[in-house]
Amino acid sequence: MGTTSSRPAPQRYPVPPGQAYYGQPAPANNGQLYGQFNQRPAAQPNNFVMPAPYGVQQQQQQQQQQQQQQQGGEQTTRTSTIRNHVNLKKNTLAVHPVGGGGGSKLRVTFDFDANVECWASVFLAACENPKEGCALSLPHGDRARPARSKHRRGLGQAFDEPTGVLDLDSVPADALTTASPNSYPLVIRLECVTGVPPGHDGGLDTVSLPEPAGAKLETWVQSQTTYATLSRRDDGSWGVTVVKQKIWVDGVSYELQEIFGIENCGASGMPGAEAGDDGKECVVCLSEPRDTTVLPCRHMCMCSGCARMLRHQNNKCPICRTVVESLLEIKVATKAEGGASA
């Protein structure tokens, strides 16, 4: 009898079905990589192929990682510095009864800073038209516009003027406590002149604000507008809550957003200034000054280098663990450069 030999049939391996990633990083050899990830189509039934050799697989994975890195670059935005000449400190805004607690009039007070001479006006139940230079109008009857009060240049000034007295009986009760997208129970506008209108003969000191108060803002005017609501407390007194603040600079309106941690940086904690102050360093490397804010949570806690590195690791804010959507790099001028604010 002759001997027979047989070779084993080649083994074939099914391709695992494709994996879907919903807002999660694709797996990588050296950690997690954030960027675009295209899902592989699921394998069809009974569709068998031989796996590629290990060296080829590794090379393909490296090429895919490089493509993902190119597609998913860091979304870092650098800011431009805007000099804000007037600023109402929103935590100081308050209302006080006039003529006793049961009266229908309130007096508005607040603290503010002004780098130049400015004017303040207080509106009760006003509507804003963003398409017309943020002009303010007064609905609810034929009400007179408030008068502007003039203020000198200076920091830490207190506003407590007769022009800041509100007559609550002049508007419906619901208009005092309810705000809509363009209507607010309380609006405070600080204005200053920063340029000369086209065709105007004379210097900056001869330019006047547009009349009346609340008129359309012009390009040669800079302003900060604070929007707030009123509320009745349990004891019958009135309280005030700031909804938002906007500035008008060079014909453009910007809504102000608070950045958490920037108060610990200041000019001395920014690049170009003296380092070494506690609480101003990046929370990751503990050496470089903080200059990058995480969005949308608005925590300013890292330097730009660590922020970019974080995008390739876990993509979460080191303070609150919120997923990072973008990075905002803030460069603040030093005192020698004029002390601008971002």
pLDDT at 59: 58
Note whether 213 and 119 are same-domain residues.
yes
Q: Is residue 268 part of a domain?
A: no
Enclosing domain of residue 292: 258-263+280-332
Note whether 240 and 92 are same-domain residues.
yes
Q: Is residue 80 part of a domain?
A: no
Note whether 215 and 315 are same-domain residues.
no
The last residue of a domain, from among 192, 221, 256: 256
- Residues 43 and 18: their CA atoms lie apart, in Å, by 7
* Model confidence, pTM: 0.67
Contact 268, 256 (CB under 8 A): no
Residues in CB range of 182: below 8 A, 6 or more apart: 127, 128, 129, 130
Residues in CB range of 137: below 8 A, 6 or more apart: 126, 127, 128, 129, 214
Note whether 305 and 165 are same-domain residues.
no
Q: Is residue 177 part of a domain?
A: yes
CATH label of the domain that carries residue 290: 3.30.40.10
Q: Is residue 60 part of a domain?
A: no
Note whether 323 and 230 are same-domain residues.
no
The last residue of a domain, from among 224, 256, 288: 256
Note whether 169 and 102 are same-domain residues.
yes
pLDDT at 308: 85
Residues in a beta bridge with 157: 112
Handedness of CA 213, 216, 221, 227 (dihedral sign): positive
Note whether 176 and 295 are same-domain residues.
no
Q: What backbone torsions phi and psi does residue 258 show, to the nearest 5 degrees? A: -75, 135
Q: Is residue 32 part of a domain?
A: no
pLDDT at 63: 58
pLDDT in tens, the chain (342 residues): 554 444 555 544 444 443 332 333 333 433 333 333 344 444 444 444 444 454 555 555 555 555 544 444 445 666 666 788 999 999 999 999 998 656 789 999 999 999 999 999 999 999 999 999 999 999 988 899 999 999 999 999 999 999 999 999 999 999 999 999 899 999 999 999 999 998 888 888 889 999 999 999 999 999 999 999 999 998 888 999 999 999 999 999 999 888 888 776 654 444 444 444 557 899 999 999 999 988 889 899 999 899 888 878 888 899 999 988 888 888 765 544 444 344
Give the burial class of 1: count Cβ atoms within 10 A of its Cβ; 0-12 exposed, 13-18 middle, 19 or more buried: exposed
Q: Is residue 128 part of a domain?
A: yes
Q: Is residue 340 part of a domain?
A: no
pLDDT at 278: 58
- Residues 189 and 141: their CA atoms lie apart, in Å, by 22
Note whether 162 and 284 are same-domain residues.
no
pLDDT at 205: 86
- Residues 253 and 283: their CA atoms lie apart, in Å, by 33
Note whether 104 and 175 are same-domain residues.
yes
Note whether 231 and 126 are same-domain residues.
yes
Note whether 112 and 162 are same-domain residues.
yes
Contact 110, 94 (CB under 8 A): yes
**Number of separate domains in the chain:** 2
pLDDT at 50: 46
DSSP 8-state symbol, 81: -
Q: Is residue 50 part of a domain?
A: no
pLDDT at 266: 53
Note whether 143 and 226 are same-domain residues.
yes
Contact 109, 160 (CB under 8 A): yes
Which residue carries 């990058």 as its tokens? 292
Q: Which long-range contacts (CB under 8 A, 24 or more apart) does 255-262 make?
A: 257/298, 258/298, 259/293, 259/298, 259/300, 259/330, 260/297, 260/298, 260/299, 260/300, 260/319, 261/290, 261/293, 261/299, 261/300, 261/301, 261/319, 262/293, 262/300, 262/330
